[in-house]
Chains A and B, each alone.
Chain A
Amino acid sequence: MGVFIGKATRAIVQGITGTQGSFHTRLMLDYGTQIVAGTSPGKGGTDVYGVPVYDTVEEALNAHAADASIIFVPAPFAADSAFEALDSGLKTVVVITEHIPVRDAVQVMYRARQQGAVVVGPNTPGILSVDECKLGIMPVHVFKRGVVGLASRSGTLTYEIATGLTARGLGQSTCIGLGGDPIVGLSFVDVLKEFEKNEQTEAVALIGEIGGNFEELAAEFIATEGCSKPVVAFVAGRTAPPGKRMGHAGAIIMGKSGTAASKIEAFEKAGVQVAEKPSDVAKLLSEKLRK
């Protein structure tokens, strides 16, 4: 069983009839994910690759048991879809949608806490429990089942690092995209706690970037609480100038906070090795796992 999701996960797709929603529904089904229903307001009664479509999450859940949702709804309506999923009692909600306003995201995270649910994203490639379940949009051929837990704030950089791990024979247990927005549901600390409990995971890679302080908080957590599994980090954006948004809404150095230097220093102080280049992540992890 992976972290948050596994073979037994039964998911619905919100926004299943859109271009992205239907395309990725097919890829998730191909991977073996149990997609039991989809929603699309006004399209109830139709189907997408054999998956029945409903107008509301309530109707979908009356007809099918499910515990997770993945959202492909356009940004102006995505927060509403997240509330609908959370209020219906779904415990894992993956928000692929990019460009959700911060004010809406803050309220979604608040509702998730009240409901005891986990929100992955927004602006995430999703979550992948290798060979078990995929709730996301990542290209699966770069991943291989194994022992490394991977958590990242970006998409393609994760694929880059996973490619490197796989090439060195280091497979992955669960890969989680935290999301590139300023307000996201999961932090590195949340994920570290999960990887610590997870039996399949023997080592962890944290892929951070400029902006916010999730990396510093993770370093502090490792320094004070300890972590029984080796952790290696990478931080993108050493060359990023302050005050400029580097693609992701969350990747911005505000004044003096959120710099790569501060994150790297925090990790090193906590005894976490920081890879200089993406390919060094695999190198460092294989050294640690050999010991």
Chain B
Amino acid sequence: MKLFEYEAKHIFTQYSIPTPNGFLATTATQAREIAEKINAPVALKSQVLVAGRAKAGGILFANSPSEAEQAAARLLGKEIKGAKVEGLWIEEKIAIQRELYFSITVDRANRCYVAIASSEGGVEIEETAATSPEKIIKVFVDPVYGFRLYHARQIAKKLGYDGNQMNDLASIFLNHYRLAMDSDAELAEMNPLVELPVGKFVAADTRLIIDDNALFRHREFKKRPLERAEMTPQELAAQKSGLAYVKLDGDVGIIGNGAGLVMATLDAIQIYGGRPANFLDVGGGASSDMTAAALDIVLSDPDVKVVFINILGGITRCDEVANGVLEAKRRAGFTKPMVIRLVGTNEEEGRRILTDAGIHVLDSMEEAAEKTVEIIKSGGA
């Protein structure tokens, strides 16, 4: 789960990590009031979860409360990479001496957490990592004794600081690590972590991605109204039904069982020249209700012109899937062309149910993918 910048900054503040003085606004009037309160030039930052908002025009600056009001009116309601701006984080504009990078994330190959730092923070950090890996400092975290103060000090030193600045940075890094562990972060990042001309450090932008699987022990993340605003009706419905759904930009609706199989299905559609409209995994052992819920979601997407259902029954029973398909068709009262590939447990029964209802069933995934794309190309029927 990605947190908004304003949510992340609240947490960083709780861990004594300095951030620019700021407040959340959802209207232009509030923006004006906040700028008056800060009483200095401000940055207005769109609260969206997509990356690269600065380049997409999601951040504006204002020198007065009235400028802030105007800027807010321009940003609120605007779409940034498909995400509608519902809130603005308005904070004191800071002077930048140097931009650093620091994060704690998961190193999958070494099966541990890793602290990553660089003296060249900012938007080009990935580029730096790719082209000048020597500018990236990595410290692997021992799963038992953790990231210690001396690790933090070593990193500060390697970033080129000593004296009080080294100690200040080290305590920021250590608190950052504690924050990451306490909140079960997959990624906790300060980019940039800014060195001010006066020599102090401020986390100018912060990013927190919480491990979804650990949310059961974090009740504090339950209420998040802004996030809902970024989700499509299909994504909301999928979340409610416990289905893994990702919206894509094509016109072939896809349903399958098992993440790997669904990904391979999307790929197959593309190989034959089609474009998938979504990823939807009904999971293992899907009941007819789950299947119907999945089909409801895909049919409700106006971009979808054809539906391809690819089921390889192991724990999943083909007859359950077939009944779910008929139920969803009945509920929707309309349908779109459908190609179904159905093999595995109770295959004969599943096929009979669908064939009796006039739905054609195939048994090769690739043949079915090809057929689906033919339907799209011939105009949808």
Residues of A with Cβ closer than 8 Å to B? Answer: 75-76, 99-103, 105-107, 109-110, 137-139, 142, 152-160, 163, 180, 182-183, 187, 207, 209-214, 217, 234, 236-241, 243-251, 255-256, 276-279
Contact = CB atoms under 8 A, between A and B. Distances in A.
A209 B276 CA distance: 18
A4 B262 CA distance: 29
A230 B267 CA distance: 25
A238 B269 CA distance: 11
10 contacts: A102-B184, A156-B312, A180-B260, A209-B259, A236-B267, A238-B267, A241-B248, A244-B279, A245-B246, A279-B365
Nearest to B367: A279
B276 A239 contact: yes
A213 B109 contact: yes
A27 to B, nearest CB: 10
A240 B108 CA distance: 20
Contacts of B216: 75-76
B109 A207 contact: no
A103 B181 contact: yes
- Interface on chain A toward B: helix, strand, loop, or mixed SS? loop
A92 B344 CA distance: 29
Given A103-B211, A256-B130, A156 B109 contact: no
Interface size class for chain B? 35 or more
Contacts of A159: 312, 314, 344
A251 B259 contact: yes
Contact of A237 (B113, B212, B267, B364): B267
A243 B209 CA distance: 11
Given A238-B267, A239-B276, A277-B271, A101 B260 contact: no
A137 B314 CA distance: 9
Given A102-B213, A107-B143, A245-B246, 7 more contacts: A101-B217, A106-B113, A137-B315, A157-B258, A239-B270, A246-B244, A247-B244
A211 B186 CA distance: 14
Contact of A156 (B106, B258, B270): B258
B231 interface: no
A156 B260 contact: yes
Interface of B: 51, 106, 108-109, 111-113, 126, 130, 143-144, 181, 184, 186, 211-214, 216-217, 244, 246, 248, 256-264, 266-271, 276, 279, 281, 284, 312-315, 343-345, 364-366
A47 B281 CA distance: 35
A220 to B, nearest CB: 11
A139 B365 contact: no
Contacts of A243: 51
A212 B105 CA distance: 13
A241 B246 contact: yes
A118 B23 CA distance: 50
A247 B108 contact: no
Contacts of B344: 139, 142, 159
Contact of A255 (B126, B281, B345): B126
A157 B260 contact: yes
A239 B111 contact: no
Given A101-B211, A154-B259, A278-B264, A106 B112 contact: yes
Nearest to B264: A236
Contacts of A207: 260
Contacts of B248: 239, 241
